[in-house]
Structure 1
Amino acid sequence: MADYRFRPLTPADKPLFVAWLAAPHIGGWWQDGETEWALVAQEFGTGRVDMRVVEQGGTPFAYVQDYGVHEWEMPQYADLPRRARALDTFLGDVAFLGKGHAARYLRQRCDALLADYSLVAVDPAPDNTRAIRAYAAAGFVQRKTCIGEEGDPVTVMTRPN
């Protein structure tokens, strides 16, 4: 299994982050890079969101963030324990697609989070089958499909401790 490094996202990562979100394989699952960057930039220094760039062998290839499931009004997570974390991610570098990296870095990141939290939750769109497969391979199990905070359906998946 590959070892991944999860370094903090910094303002210097903006060009990489924005370029990743312009890649065709991301289309539809996240907003455009400038919009998403504006959202993550608001969180720098707040301590509410742990934002990381995923690297393998010094090459950055993905983004992952986690936060308390009750940090914001998110109805899909209302029934989860207080000590749970929500996780969002995307694999940006197309050279890393289709090789099992997402499942492996997700497993490694969740293992670290579960040392301190009761469970980790994700909420992909029900038709985002690639993400759902990666989450399942990382040990997540489907709990329910419901309406998320933006009014769209989501599939809530959790990985318990």
Structure 2
Amino acid sequence: MSASSRYKFQRVTPADFGRLAAWQSRPHVRAWWDAAEPFSAQKLQDLRVSRWIVSIAERPFAYLQDYTVHGWDNHHFSALPKGSRGIDQFIGEPDMIGKGHGPAFIAQRLQDLFTAGAPVVATDPHPENARAISAYEKAGFTVFGPVQETPWGPILPMQASP
């Protein structure tokens, strides 16, 4: 298996809700991810967002979502070019943190999105989430503006291009 395809992205289904809820309850996820918004079958029907379970060697360990940045009125990334995507993720399994998986699977998904035609992919980590910011930088993202307040809290805007 090549390094560029070592991670598997499988669409989230209702069968994954228990795993996702368990991951969201872990302190390292809860610190940065809103567990008050559980996953639901209704959310899976929202075509603006693609939701993925990330696995390596048949072991699920992370969640990633990518979305159209133009799917919401006044989204903080709405000035990006048409076709741009946003991305959010977390590693749910604590023993998989700090081993380079985050930057690697993010970079792999970036390439998938660029191959599909996305001109820009943006992300918006909390400005105090140094681990996420570092992972995004290693995957190819750069900061493209000052810290902003959004309906989801403070964010550091970052973007990557092919």
TM-score normalised by L of structure 2: 0.90
Q: Give me the identity figure in percent.
A: 35
The answer to whether the Cα contact below 8 Å between 2:69 and 2:75 also exists between their aligned partners in 1 is: no
Equivalent residue for 2:31? 28
Q: 1:61 to 1:74 in 2, by over 3 A?
A: farther
CA-to-aligned-CA distance 1:34-63 (integer Å, 9 cap, x gap): 62324xx33323322111000001100000
The answer to whether the Cα contact below 8 Å between 2:127 and 2:147 also exists between their aligned partners in 1 is: no
Equivalent residue for 2:10? 7
RMSD: 1.6
CA-to-aligned-CA distance 1:9-53 (integer Å, 9 cap, x gap): 000001100000111111231122x62324xx3332332211100
Number of residue pairs matched? 158
| Residue 19 (structure 1) aligned with residue 35 (structure 2) | no
| Residue 37 (structure 1) aligned with residue 39 (structure 2) | yes
The 1-side partners of 2:45 and 2:78 are apart by 26
The answer to whether the Cα contact below 8 Å between 1:145 and 1:153 also exists between their aligned partners in 2 is: no
The answer to whether the Cα contact below 8 Å between 1:7 and 1:54 also exists between their aligned partners in 2 is: yes
The 2-side partners of 1:62 and 1:93 are apart by 7
- Following superposition, which runs of at least 4 residues in structure 1 exceed 4 angstroms of deviation? none
Aligned AA (1:91): I
Aligned AA (1:88): D
The 2-side partners of 1:110 and 1:96 are apart by 20
The 2-side partners of 1:123 and 1:158 are apart by 9
Q: Which runs of 5+ in 1 are unaligned?
A: none
SS across alignment from 1:103: helix
Q: Which runs of 5+ in 2 are unaligned?
A: none
